[in-house]
Amino acid sequence: MGRFLGLDYGAKTVGVSVSDPLFLTAQPVETVWREKENHLRKTMKRIQEIVSDYQVSAIVLGCPRNMDGSYGERCEKTLEFSEMLKNRMPDIPVILWDERLTTSQAEQALMEGGVRRENRKQYLDSMAAVLILQNYLDYRSIQKDNSE
């Protein structure tokens, strides 16, 4: 079984993280940038390369729900992106994960880490992807422990 890939899908970026082989921790990989929101060909190609490089067995895609749990515009766009991933990589399951507040948590972590404001954007999305994936890994671990 390969690693899990975490994705934070945004209007012009996709933050990327990957799990360790034992599914305990998530590490940042990169942020994939694009000029316009709907120009996804190069983004999809880069994600496919990362999936191959890390031998990914599942993708955890953050879905930014509203605070009341409903799906807003950004979540709808994420669902469309999820379908694109499934079409491009039909053998790789895509797990939608509630990512409410991960971007603000990532920004707070970067501030606490002393990253200057002008440098935060280059790390923000991959850090949010780390939080999405780590939350999923922690949940998965708890579920596994409860089933034993």
> How many Å apart are CA 113 and CA 66, to the nearest integer?
28
Q: Tens of pLDDT along 1-18?
A: 789 999 999 889 999 999
Q: Which residues of 20-58 are buried (b: 16+ CB within 10 A; e: fewer)?
A: eeebeebebbbbbebeeeeebeebbebbeebbeebebbb
User: What is the per-residue pLDDT for 58?
Assistant: 97
> Domain of 89: which CATH number?
3.30.420.140
pLDDT tens per residue across span 60-97: 999 987 667 677 788 899 999 999 999 999 999 999 99
Neighbours of 145 (CB within 10 A): 8
pLDDT tens for each residue of 103-142: 666 666 656 666 666 655 666 678 889 999 999 999 888 8
pLDDT at residue 115, rounded to an integer: 62
| Helices (H), ranges, the chain | 41-53, 73-88, 102-112, 117-147
pTM: 0.85
Report which of residues 38 and 32 the model is more confident about. 32
Cα torsion 104, 110, 115, 119: sign: negative
CA 44 and chain centroid, separation: 14
The token pair that represents 102 in the structure block: 């991960």
Containing domain of residue 45, as a range? 3-147
Q: Report the C-alpha gap between 39 and 26 in whole angstroms.
A: 27
Task: Give the number of domains in the chain.
Answer: 1
β-pairing verdict for 26-33 and 56-63: unpaired
| Predicted pLDDT of residue 118 | 64
First to last CA, the chain: 21
Select the more confidently predicted residue: 27 or 36: 27
